[in-house]
Amino acid sequence: MQVATVLYPDFTALDIIGPYDVLGRLPGAEVVFVAADPGLVRNDLRSLSVQPEATLDEVTSPDVVLIGGGPGYLGQLEGGRLHEWLRAVDRTSTWTTSVCTGAPILAAAGLLEGRRATTHWSALDDLTRFGATPTSERVVFDGHYVTGAGVSAGIDMALTLAGRMAGDETAEMVQLIIEYAPEPPYRSGSMEVASPAVIESARVALG
């Protein structure tokens, strides 16, 4: 089972590394990082670079497609090679998935038209713009599309998908291996519970 994880400049690392650590532990899984061009791809904090193992042209029929988000997603909303590749591999993929602002990229490529999807809270309007139906749920399945909300939700998305693909017991085993048992020190992890002051400072930080 090949999992193609897309890289592009200014991606958010946890968006793809969380799912990588989950899906890469499934029996028979091969995770391959792909990008439009060879060479290191730098993340949004500008201090981490990932080397893709293949270009988009070299990966033609992955079983699972995963695209994460990050500030660089805005530069990936226009048509081009990535959109063409996403539409091509989506025709044969078992699952096409996203984390955070990866969902607007799928939507901009025309893959989420009329479908329910989630993304980071700051980008829900982008889904509407491209014909998807936004929801604030943490993980959304619609057909063979699976979208996760912001950043850390990628782990939830990947574990839920792992259960669908390999069974609950295997997914639970992976959850134990990565010791995923969240006990956040603060209660500000969603728009529903964060204070107005925290929400405002987050909006300012995101630009």
Domains and CATH numbers, the chain: 2-181 (3.40.50.880)
Angle among Cα 17, 19, 20 to the nearest 5 degrees reads 60
Check: CB of residue 93 under 8 Å from CB of residue 63.
yes
CB within 8 Å of 58: residues ≥ 6 apart: 34
pLDDT of residue 42: 98
pLDDT, one tens digit per residue, over 6-59 is 999 999 999 999 999 999 999 999 999 999 999 999 999 999 999 999 999 999
Distance CA 112, CA 178 (A): 31
Distance CA 96, CA 143 (A): 10
**Which is nearest to 65 in space by CA: 125, 120, 109?**
109
What's the pTM?
Answer: 0.97
**Which is nearest to 149 in space by CA: 134, 161, 136?**
136
18 among known catalytic residues? no
Distance CA 162, CA 96 (A): 13
Could you say which residues of the chain have pLDDT below 70? none
pLDDT of residue 50: 98
Catalytic residue (one of 26, 31, 100, 105)? 100
